[in-house]
Amino acid sequence: MSSPSMLKKALMTINKQEDISTKNYLLPNFTNGFPGFRESINTTTYTAKYAMVGKKKVMEGGNEEEEKNSSSVGKKKKKKGEKKAKRPRFAFQTRSQVDILDDGYRWRKYGQKAVKHNKFPRSYYRCTHQGCNVKKQVQRLSKDEGIVVTTYEGIHTHPTEKNSDNFEQILSQMRIYTRS
């Protein structure tokens, strides 16, 4: 089963080995963020912030360090509207034949991009529910094409549409690569 510490470790591992993106990752409140985890982690809200792959500042530790919008950090006016607030993110790996994991939500693909050092493209999905701007990325690793990395960003503001029984499978497929 998956414990928060395992997820945490997985997250760190992923961040170290893969360059998934350029942002901080943090584990969202799973209870309302990721229904699939409801069964396995229904306790405390779990937040942890990590540095990303490259440099950038390292926000170690698991306290919600909310850097606040310090006045010095001149956030420019968001032209397009849209809150650019940092969103909870977390990633995990599964060993799967299919790229699209059925997690109970409906996703609309809105982009696909090739990333460097990877032969497989990365796909971008958005939750189709109106007003729910949760996104996820799916990418298969070139070093081991049996592995699919899924990165979620945001918290769903609505329940799942269909029951996510399949998610138990996904959970059971989760692998923590602490050692190769």
Partner DNA sequence: CGGATTTGACCCGCGC
Partner DNA sequence: GCGCGGGTCAAATCCG
132: helix, strand or coil: coil
Burial class (CB in 10 A: 0-12, 13-18, 19+), 96: middle
Give the shortest CB-40-to-DNA separation in angstroms: 27
Q: How far apart are CA 150 and CA 137, in angstroms?
A: 6
| Interacting residues with DNA (CB under 7 A) | 19-22, 55-56, 76, 79, 106-116, 122, 124-125, 128, 135, 137
CB contact at 8 A, 156 and 165: no
Nearer to DNA, 15 or 137 (CB): 137
Give the shortest CB-113-to-DNA separation in angstroms: 4
Nearer to DNA, 21 or 40 (CB): 21
Nearer to DNA, 6 or 115 (CB): 115
Q: How far apart are CA 40 and CA 37, in angstroms?
A: 5
Give the shortest CB-3-to-DNA separation in angstroms: 28
Q: How far apart are CA 147 and CA 175, in angstroms?
A: 9
Give the shortest CB-30-to-DNA separation in angstroms: 22
CB contact at 8 A, 154 and 133: yes
Nearer to DNA, 112 or 157 (CB): 112
Give the shortest CB-135-to-DNA separation in angstroms: 6
**Amino acid letter, residue 17:** Q
Nearer to DNA, 46 or 154 (CB): 154
